[in-house]
Amino acid sequence: MASTRAEDVAEVLWELKRADKVATFSTIAKRAGFSAGPKGRSVKTALKTVRRDWEHLQWWRAIDDSGCVEKDSEHAEMLSESGYELIDSEGKDETVVLTDLDCHVMTWEEKEAENVETDITTES
């Protein structure tokens, strides 16, 4: 049985998929209503359950707060296949970093502002 945290993370991943964005572990945890834990450990644990129970969700949209991903990993492969550019991290041979992080990372404040703007337009 999936944990409540995993279910909440699954909801956030669904939002990310629809918006064609990624989000950091801390942002996902905040949106899901819990702390990400040290180095995103709580989110990573929830993601393991999501991968097992909801295979259709794009778990790879969750990234480290630094934007770094393990080089040559399935995570890096999935991001690349989906059109995200990854470059070698400076001084870290084992990681790559997502370029244009600010452009690709979901911020719910922006999304909520869009929804308010849409609501105002449709009410007029």
**Per-residue confidence band for 116, with pLDDT thresholds at 50, 70 and 90:** very low
* Domain extent listing, the chain: 4-123
Mean pLDDT of the region 55-81: 95
**Per-residue confidence band for 102, with pLDDT thresholds at 50, 70 and 90:** confident
Which residues lie across from 62 on neighbouring strands?
23
pLDDT score at 1: 46
The CATH number corresponding to 4-123 among 1.10.3720.10, 1.10.10.10, 3.80.30.20, 1.10.287.1120 equals 1.10.10.10
**Which residue do the tokens 């790559």 mark?**
96
Read off the pTM.
0.82
Strands 92-98 and 86-89: what pairing?
antiparallel
